[in-house]
Amino acid sequence: MFADSGPFSYALLPFLIFISRVFDVSLGTLRIIFVNRGMKFLAPIIGFFEVLIWLIVIGQIMQNLTNVANYIAYAGGFAMGNFVGIFLEQKLAMGIVLVRIITLKNARELIAHFRGLDYRVTNVPAEANAGKVEIIFLPVKRKDIRSVITAIKKYNENALYTFEDVRVMSEWAIPKKEKRRISPKLKAYPRLFKFKRKGK
């Protein structure tokens, strides 16, 4: 049979194990991220397929214990799966982070920049070893981290900044980039959309 042949046992089967393990570990990485984000419906679905793939792979390895290529493929797939999972998480950029900025120089321009973008900025004066500092807090979407770092380097290049994952946050804390606009036609007839009280 083809399944018992040399090309399948030492080439195709290890390749399938490698690919399956990449999918398995990638799903596992995403599942952990979704659990941390509190996605209680999506995480179990991903976990189901993660375990299903793992069981199939383990079953094939247990049936071919003398094939060293399967072990190498399994380990290689695990390593690659971690890389792919982290890559996918960075591309998805899900969730909210709290940015903490500590700057030694006057942060007026930096604060004005973020407030001009409608971020909810909180700044607190403090004192460090080098003297007086300004501590700035603002919540941002993970996909906006790069632009936030660019702004920090532009206005306060020597500032210290950290990012902390946030699980739950008020909806108004994040600025909406697209605001709903009223159609010009609706503006022309405002009275049509007002309720009038009937006279007694």
Of the two residues 145 and 173, the one the predictor is more confident about is: 145
Please state the three-class secondary structure of the chain as a single string. Answer: CHHHCHHHHHHHHHHHHHHHHHHHHHHHHHHHHHHHCCCCCHHHHHHHHHHHHHHHHHHHHHHCCCCHHHHHHHHHHHHHHHHHHHHHHHHHCCCEEEEEEEECCCCHHHHHHHHHCCCCCEEEEEEECCEEEEEEEEEEEHHHHHHHHHHHHHHCCCCEEEEEEECCCCHHHCCCCCCCCCCHHHHHCHHHHCCCCCCC
Domain 96-173, what fold?
A: Alpha-Beta Plaits (3.30.70)
Q: Where are the domains of the chain?
A: 2-92, 96-173
pTM for this entry:
0.58
Question: Given pLDDT bands bounded at 50, 70 and 90, which one contains residue 23?
Answer: very high
Question: Given pLDDT bands bounded at 50, 70 and 90, which one contains residue 174?
Answer: low
- Looking at residue 171, its pLDDT comes to 63
